[in-house]
Structure 1
Amino acid sequence: MTARQALTSTTTRRRFLTAAGLATATVTFAGTQEAMADDYGSGQLGPWQDLSRAISTEKQINPVLANDGFFMFGDSIAVQDGYALALRLQDRTGDLIAVHNWSGRPTAPAVDALQQWASTYGLPRRIIMATGSNDIFNPPAFGPQIARTMSIVGPNRTVFWVNTQAARTRVSESMRLADQRNSAWVNLQLADAQRTYPQLRIVRWAEFLAAKLSRLTAYLSDGVHTTVPLGQDARNELIVQAVEGT
C-alpha cells in the first residue's frame, strides 16, 4: 500500500465512491439526428441543460483537496464512465476524484464549472478534462477554451485532456463524415495547444481507436459513447496510464 493509499480509510473510500456525485445516469448525446443548416456539417448542438449529470458535493470535494486528488470535468461519456474511473484510480494510485460531468455539454460551460470550483474550493495539482465531443458542432469554439483552462489552472498544475472521437452511427453518412472531420479539428487544436502548454497532457483516445478498425465498433456503442465494459475499461485505462506516467 502506498503512503497516499494509507491516508484514505476504507470507510472514507466507500462513502466517497457511493455518494450521489458518481451515481449512474442515463447517457444522452445532445446533437441533432438530422441534417440542419450549419457551418460545419454535424448539425446543431441540442439543449443539454436538463440532461443527466454527475456532480460531486462539497462533502466529496473536501477529501479530494485534502489528499491532492483529481478534479474531473466531462460530458456524457464521463457521466457514464466516471464511477468506474474513480474505482480504477483508487485501486491503482490511491487517488480520490471529484467530478463535474454533464451530458451534452460542450467545453465552454465545462470550463465555466472549472472556474467556479477554482474560485470556490481551490484546485488540486491535477485536472482531468474529458470534454470535446460536443464541440464537433462548432469546432472553432474549442481552442479558446483550452487557453481558458490553462489560464485558470496556472503553470504548476497538470491537465490531462482526453481527445475526441465522434462519428455518430445514427445520422446520415455525410453528417458522420463531418463528425469525423470535426473531431480531427478539435484534436488538432488540442495538439497545437500542447506546444504552448507543457503541463497539458493528451490522453490519446482517438489514436487508440484508430489503431485497429475493429475498435470503432467494439469500443463504441454509437460512434461516440463507450461500450460497457470493453470501451469503458479501455478509455479509463488510458487515463490511468497517463496519470501514472507523470
Structure 2
Amino acid sequence: MKTTRRGLLTAGAVVVGASILSTEQAFADGYGSGALGPWEGLSKRISTLDQINPVLNNDGLFMFGDSISVQDGYSFAQRLMSRTGDVIAVHNWSGRPTAPAVDALAQWAQAYGMPRRILMATGTNDIFTPPVFAAQVDRTMSIVGPTRTVYWVNTQVSRTGQTAAVQLADQRNSAWINLQLADAQRRHSNLRIVRWAEFLAAKPSRLTTYLEDGVHTTVPLGQDARNELIVQAIEAG
C-alpha cells in the first residue's frame, strides 16, 4: 500500500504495509515539531538491583519509557500484577527519545541479562527527528534476539499548547513513527504493537477525554485506558 499525505495526517493512523517517508520528504526547515529540549535533568523512575532481581527470577518484564511511563508506570505495575501476577522493573525517563532508551536496554542486558518479555513505551520524543526511529527499533530487536517478545506502545502526539501548524506536524510525525513501527513488525515476528494511536483515533472524543495536553494521559481515565491496552497485549502473548 502506498503512503499518502492524507493518510499521514489521519489521527494516530498506522497503515500496515505502507512505505516509510524518506528524509527528503520532510519540511525543508526540519520536521515541524521544533527541537527536543534537554531531558537528562527531568524526572525519572529507575528500578534498583533489588527490584530487578525478582523480575529475572520470576520471568517478569523490563519496561523502558518516557514521561508518560514516569506518570503511569506505578499504576501499570499494579494492574499487571493483579491480572497476570507479573512483576516489572522500569527504566523510565521524562523527555527521553528512543535512542538513549535503547542504550539503557543494552546496559541492562549486559549487566543483568534479560527476562523473556520487554516493554518499550517510547517514541513520543522522536517526533522532533522521526527518521531516526526505525534504526532504534531494529537495534532493540537485535539486542533482545528472536526468542524474546517485545511489546511496543505506538505514539500519539498533537500538543494542544502549540500552534495549529505545530500540532499538525506533531500528528504527521507521530504517524510517521507509527509507520516505521508497523514496518518493523513485518521484519520481526516477535514484535507486538500496542495500538494506543488507533484506540484514540477510533473516537474523536477520546483525544480530549484520555489526553490532558495532546500527549500525556489524563488521570485516571487516560491512564487506565492506556495501561489496559498494554496489559491486554501482554495477556495475548
Same fold (TM over 0.5): yes
Structure 1 length as normaliser, TM-score? 0.85
158, 165, 169: which one aligns with 1:174: 165
Aligned residue runs from structure 1 range 1-246, under 5 A: 38-246=29-237
Q: Which AA in structure 2 matches 1:49?
A: E
The alignment partner of 1:171 has SS state of coil
Deviations 1:132-167 (Å, cap 9, x if unpaired)? 000000000100000000000000000000000000
Letter in 2 for 1:236: N
Question: Separation in 2 of the partners of 1:153 and 1:241?
Answer: 21
Shift of 1:38: 4.4
| Identity score, percent | 76
Q: Give the CA RMSD over aligned residues.
A: 0.7
1:156-192 per-residue CA deviation (whole Å, 9 max, x = no partner) reads 0000000000000000000000000000000000000
Match of 1:18 in 2: none
SS in 2 for 1:124: coil
Q: Is the 8 A contact 1:107 1:134 kept in 2?
A: yes
Could you tell me how far apart the structure 2 residues matched to 1:190 and 1:51 are? Answer: 26
Q: Which runs of 5+ in 1 are unaligned?
A: 1-36
Instruction: Assess if the C-alpha contact under 8 Å between 1:42 and 1:136 holds in 2.
Output: yes
Amino acid in structure 1 at the alignment position of 2:31: Y
Q: Which runs of 5+ in 2 are unaligned?
A: 1-27
Q: How many residues get paired?
A: 210
1:7 — aligned with what? none
What is residue 27 of structure 1 aligned with on the other side? none
Displacement of 1:115 in angstroms is 0.1
Question: What TM-score results when the alignment is normalised by the length of structure 2?
Answer: 0.88
